[in-house]
């Protein structure tokens, strides 16, 4: 859909019949009909406003809690066909990117719209790498957290705190400024995440090593102990890079909607992305991988899977890592992740929870309850097992999701800012509360 308001179009089909790209709504309260333009299979909600019984009425709205069928923006970043299990970034399939690209190259693609040339990639890598260090005061800030603070809470707060360090970030309509904050946010995310992790262990922070790759340096900052130079294992480095590619963007999900909603107030990108990380923290979103591992532990053995599935079907609990608002087919990311999982297990040893997970998947994919509801494994079903095998505690799982999603959030935030049709996000409501009431003094209240 282009930015201009859609106009009614008439087309002649091959058989000679004319087709009008409109929909006619008849309001049976008044008998009046309204012809609304259709563009890209959508009508504009504002076109409903003309539908009124009395001239002084507010006009009709659409009611769509949780945005089940409402497009809130025009986007050219990520495409999903949930029924077919397709995911593409800027037109490139997730399968091809996972096989051939790196996270940093994919992040460039998301942010700038095209794959970089060799020179552009070199420049982008240089700039991200040279923004990985954090101000020493941020270290003090992290030191203030309790030893058992959840790393996701630390990351949310620290990203928000960055806005107080970079006042130039408020200049959001300045392209140079946006570019600088992008280098900082993409560059510093792994550093802040790794420092949060080391803080929980009471271990000294490891400074970035600019000679390592983006995932390699992250592993260095997480796991380096006494060695003079940390050498990441290439299998784990590549596995992490693929996981980062798979998590880089996912169109208008809860956290992306948050970055757009908060960003629409024209706040700086640190505050907007901190809000997005907070949205991702929830167990129904990026926190689901943590919940999957908890659930598999709770199930305990392959023999107990049927009993657990029975409880799920009775509505007592959910099969975490299953189901998706958009995918009504196998999540394409889950398929790639399953392959990566085996590569990691070959190196690190099989995760004992894998058998339980495979049994859950086997039963669920055959069971009518799941088949009827089109519930398939989502991205989170296997990621937790990989992260666990790589040595991450469960509390780090959502952080591992947030690091790569930063590039997607910034791409979406920038698209919002540059979209002339966008304004401050402000949904309507249907008010069903009390009509006017008189204030009763406290002694008269029952
Ligand atoms: N286990 C059991 N039943 C489920 C599950 C599940 N994981 N997911 C959905 N259902 C059932 C619902 O109870 C509902 O059944 P009903 O029609 O009998 O009422 C039906 O399937 C439809 O589910 P909704 O909740 O309407 O689907 P919605 O699109 O709102 O929710 C969500 C999607 C939140 C992902 C949901 O499937 C869920 O909670 N899954 C578990 C959590 C999870 O894995 N989240 C990660 C999502 S991926 C991501 O954010 C990166």
Q: Which residues are designated catalytic?
A: 285, 324, 380
Q: What is the dihedral of CA 330, 334, 339, 340, to 10 degrees?
A: 170
pLDDT, position 285: 86
DSSP, res 203: P
Residue 276 structure tokens: 């997005």
CA–CA dist 16, 434 (Å, integer) = 56
Phi, psi of 56 (to 5 degrees): -85, -5
- Whose CA is closest to atom 44 on ligand 1? 321
Which of 306, 255, 198, 285 lies closest to 412, judged by CA? Answer: 255
Mean pLDDT to the nearest integer, 314-343: 92
pLDDT, position 288: 85
66 CA → ligand 1 middle, Å: 13
Give the other-Cβ count within 10 Å of 319's Cβ.
23
Atom of ligand 1 nearest to the CA of 285: 50
Q: Mutual orientation of helices 103-112 and 397-417 as an angle, nearest 10°?
A: 20
pLDDT band at 25 (very low <50, low <70, confident <90, very high): very high
Asked whether the predicted pLDDT for residue 4 surpasses 70, the reply is: no
User: Tokens 């069903």 map to which residue?
Assistant: 432
List Cα–Cα distances, 303 to 26, 291, 308, 319, in angstroms.
Answer: 58, 20, 10, 16
Asked whether the predicted pLDDT for residue 176 surpasses 50, the reply is: yes
pLDDT, position 6: 44
Q: Are strands 78-81 and 86-89 parallel, antiparallel or unpaired?
A: antiparallel
pLDDT tens per residue across span 221-230:
999 999 989 9
Mean pLDDT to the nearest integer, 209-229: 96
Residue 421 structure tokens: 């049709």
Cα–chain center distance at 359: 28
Mutate to test the pocket of ligand 1, among 257, 299, 323 (most ligand atoms within 8 A of CB): 323
Atom of ligand 1 nearest to the CA of 381: 44
Three-state SS at 316: coil
Atom of ligand 1 nearest to the CA of 323: 37
Listed in sequence order, the DSSP H helices in 315-423 are 332-348, 354-366, 368-372, 380-389, 397-417
CA–CA dist 376, 360 (Å, integer) = 11
Residue 129 structure tokens: 């790498």
pLDDT, position 10: 60
- Whose CA is closest to atom 27 on ligand 1? 325
CA–CA dist 374, 297 (Å, integer) = 25
Q: Among 202-206, 262-266, 375-379, which is the least confidently predicted range?
A: 375-379
Mean pLDDT to the nearest integer, 404-408: 98
Quote the longest CA-to-CA distance of the chain: 81
pLDDT, position 1: 41
Residue 184 structure tokens: 């900082």
- Whose CA is closest to atom 49 on ligand 1? 285
Asked whether the predicted pLDDT for residue 3 surpasses 60, the reply is: no
DSSP sequence for 425-437: --------S----
Pocket of ligand 1 (CB under 6 A): 284-286, 288, 312, 318-325, 373, 375, 378-380
Residue 303 structure tokens: 């023999």
430 CA → ligand 1 middle, Å: 26
321 CA → ligand 1 middle, Å: 9
pLDDT tens per residue across span 224-270:
999 989 999 999 999 999 999 999 999 999 999 999 999 999 999 99
325 CA → ligand 1 middle, Å: 7
pLDDT, position 12: 63
CA–CA dist 311, 396 (Å, integer) = 28
- Whose CA is closest to atom 32 on ligand 1? 324
pLDDT, position 330: 85
DSSP, res 71: -
Mean pLDDT of the chain: 94
376 CA → ligand 1 middle, Å: 10
Is-contact 343 391, C-beta < 8 A? Answer: no
Atom of ligand 1 nearest to the CA of 325: 29
Q: Are strands 10-12 and 18-20 parallel, antiparallel or unpaired?
A: antiparallel
324 CA → ligand 1 middle, Å: 6
Asked whether the predicted pLDDT for residue 17 surpasses 80, the reply is: no
Q: Mutual orientation of helices 397-417 and 175-201 as an angle, nearest 10°?
A: 170
Which of 400, 430, 375, 348 lies closest to 61, judged by CA? Answer: 430
- Whose CA is closest to atom 20 on ligand 1? 373
pLDDT tens per residue across span 64-119:
999 999 999 999 999 999 999 999 999 999 999 999 999 999 999 999 999 999 99
- Whose CA is closest to atom 18 on ligand 1? 373
pLDDT, position 379: 87
Which of 425, 407, 77, 67 lies closest to 266, judged by CA? Answer: 425
The share of the chain scoring above pLDDT 70, in percent, equals 96
Q: Mutual orientation of helices 288-299 and 354-366 as an angle, nearest 10°?
A: 100
Which helix (H) or strand (E) is 25 found in, with range? Answer: strand 22-27
Atom of ligand 1 nearest to the CA of 321: 44
Phi, psi of 22 (to 5 degrees): -140, 165
pLDDT, position 5: 40
CA–CA dist 111, 106 (Å, integer) = 9
pLDDT, position 203: 96
pLDDT, position 15: 67
82 CA → ligand 1 middle, Å: 14
pLDDT tens per residue across span 131-171:
999 999 999 999 999 999 999 999 999 999 999 999 999 99
Q: Among 37-41, 42-46, 347-351, 402-406, which is the least confidently predicted range?
A: 347-351
pTM for this prediction: 0.92
pLDDT tens per residue across span 52-62:
999 999 999 99
The domains located in the chain, with CATH, are 10-63 (no CATH), 96-422 (1.10.580.10)
Asked whether the predicted pLDDT for residue 296 surpasses 80, the reply is: yes
Is-contact 218 189, C-beta < 8 A? Answer: no
- Whose CA is closest to atom 45 on ligand 1? 284
Residue 335 structure tokens: 């398929």
């Amino acid at each position: 859909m282009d930015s201009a308001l859609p106009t009614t179009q008439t087309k002649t089909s091959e058989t000679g019949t004319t087709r009008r790209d409109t929909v006619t709504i008849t309001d049976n309260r008044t008998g009046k009909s309204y012809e609304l333009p259709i563009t890209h299979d959508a009508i504009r909600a504002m076109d409903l406003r003309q539908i009124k019984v009395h001239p002084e009425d507010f006009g009709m709205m659409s009611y769509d809690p949780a945005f089940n069928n409402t497009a809130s923006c025009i986007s050219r970043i990520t495409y999903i066909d949930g029924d077919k299990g397709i995911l593409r970034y800027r037109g490139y399939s997730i399968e091809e990117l996972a096989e051939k690209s790196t996270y940093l190259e994919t992040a460039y693609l998301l942010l700038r719209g095209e794959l970089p040339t060799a020179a552009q990639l070199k420049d982008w890598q240089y700039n991200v790498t040279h923004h990985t260090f954090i101000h020493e005061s941020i270290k003090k800030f992290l030191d203030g957290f309790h030893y058992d603070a959840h790393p996701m809470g630390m990351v949310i707060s620290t990203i928000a705190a960055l806005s107080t360090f970079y006042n130039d970030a408020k200049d959001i309509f300045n392209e140079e400024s946006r570019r600088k904050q992008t280098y900082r946010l993409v560059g510093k995310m792994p550093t802040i995440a790794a420092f949060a992790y080391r803080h929980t262990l009471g271990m000294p922070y490891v400074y970035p090593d600019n000679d390592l790759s983006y995932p390699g340096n992250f592993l260095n900052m997480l796991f380096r102990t006494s060695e003079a130079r940390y050498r990441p294992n290439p299998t784990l480095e590549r596995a992490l890079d693929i996981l980062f590619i798979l998590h880089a963007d996912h169109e208008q999900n809860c956290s992306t909607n948050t970055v757009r909603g908060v960003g629409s107030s024209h706040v700086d990108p640190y505050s907007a992305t901190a809000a997005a990380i907070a949205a991702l923290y929830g167990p129904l979103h990026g926190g689901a991988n943590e919940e999957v591992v908890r659930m598999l532990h709770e199930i305990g053995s392959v023999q107990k899977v049927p009993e657990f599935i029975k409880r799920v079907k009775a509505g007592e609990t959910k099969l975490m890592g299953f189901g998706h608002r958009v995918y009504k087919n196998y999540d394409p990311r889950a398929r790639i992740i399953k392959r990566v999982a085996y590569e990691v297990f070959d190196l690190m040893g099989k995760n004992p929870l894998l058998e339980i997970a495979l049994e859950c998947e086997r039963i669920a994919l055959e069971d009518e309850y799941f088949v009827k509801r089109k519930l398939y494994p989502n991205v989170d079903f296997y990621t937790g097992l990989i992260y666990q095998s790589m040595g991450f505690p469960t509390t780090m799982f959502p952080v591992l999701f947030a690091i790569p999603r930063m590039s997607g959030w910034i791409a979406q935030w920038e698209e919002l800012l540059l979209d002339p049709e966008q304004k401050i996000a402000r949904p309507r409501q249907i008010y069903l509360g009390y009509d006017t009431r008189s204030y009763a003094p406290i002694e008269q209240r029952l």
